[in-house]
């Protein structure tokens, strides 16, 4: 269900404000389509931006990794975090180099993350991460054992302060460039799954499951 959101001073889009989207349903659709997020934070004056997988449940996103991870240890201490996801939809070729662009959809979430300590929520978060990448895989895989759970940290980041930004459509050339003798338009881009490749150690007769063979990203 669509839910309008009033941006904060930190999340209001200033550059190209007409591309801003302040709607939870639209932002969540972008998050649910993406695979990789980039997590930004600062430790002792040094900024870091780390790419990692994620999953969403309701108004929270979850990220996970080794319990020894510097990123996860520091984020759990309550420092500010910037979580971003970007989907690239096309190359926009204008008549002038200055007006070249890209069609994209992006989401930025600001806030603080907290470690998930309750066992059932931790397992559910790991299931969400798995199902976000490949629906159907969780039920056919061995689930984490106690040693693996202890070695894994899961962080929950509430989606409280956020904004989305979307660029769609053709080039935006200046009027005086419209007659310039070159092609202009959009080169659409999309992710396409290839044919699954068997693990060399796969037991004989084991076939590729439909969720892998027929994989398509939900749009």
9-66, pLDDT tens digit by residue? 888 887 887 888 888 999 999 999 999 999 999 988 999 999 999 999 999 999 998 8
User: Three-class SS of residue 97?
Assistant: helix
For the ranges 20-34, 61-75, 205-219, the one whose mean pLDDT is highest: 20-34
Q: Which of 12-21, 51-60, 80-89, 173-182 has the lowest mean pLDDT?
A: 12-21
User: To the nearest whole number, what is the mean pLDDT of the chain?
Assistant: 91
Alpha-carbon Rg for the chain in angstroms: 21
Checking if the pLDDT of 3 tops 80, the result is: no
Checking if the pLDDT of 1 tops 70, the result is: no
Contact 75, 39 (CB under 8 A): yes
Q: What is the DSSP track for 111-177?
A: E--EE--SHHHHHHHHHHHHHHHSTT-GGGSPPP-HHHHHTEEEEEEE--EEEEEEE-SS----GGG
pTM to 2 decimals? 0.89
Domains of the chain: 17-213 (2.30.110.10)
């Amino acid at each position: 269900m669509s839910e309008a959101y009033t941006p904060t001073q930190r999340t209001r889009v200033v550059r190209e404000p007409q591309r801003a989207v302040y709607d939870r349903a639209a932002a969540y659709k972008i998050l649910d389509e993406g695979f990789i997020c980039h997590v930004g934070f600062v430790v002792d004056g040094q900024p870091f931006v780390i790419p990692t997988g994620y999953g969403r449940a309701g108004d929270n996103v979850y990220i996970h990794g080794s319990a020894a991870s510097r990123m996860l240890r520091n984020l759990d201490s309550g420092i500010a975090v910037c979580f971003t996801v970007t989907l690239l939809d096309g190359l926009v070729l204008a008549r002038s180099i200055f007006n070249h662009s890209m069609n994209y959809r992006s989401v930025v979430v600001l806030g603080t993350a907290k470690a998930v300590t309750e066992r059932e929520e931790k397992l559910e978060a790991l299931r969400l991460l798995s199902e976000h990448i490949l629906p159907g895989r969780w039920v056919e895989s061995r689930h984490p054992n106690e040693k693996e759970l202890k070695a894994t940290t899961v962080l929950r980041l509430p989606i409280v302060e956020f904004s989305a930004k979307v660029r769609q459509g053709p080039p935006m050339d200046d009027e005086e460039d419209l007659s310039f003798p070159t092609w202009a338009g959009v080169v659409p881009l999309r992710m396409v799954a290839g044919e699954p490749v068997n693990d060399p150690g796969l037991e004989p007769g084991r076939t590729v499951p439909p969720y892998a063979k027929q994989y398509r990203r939900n749009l």
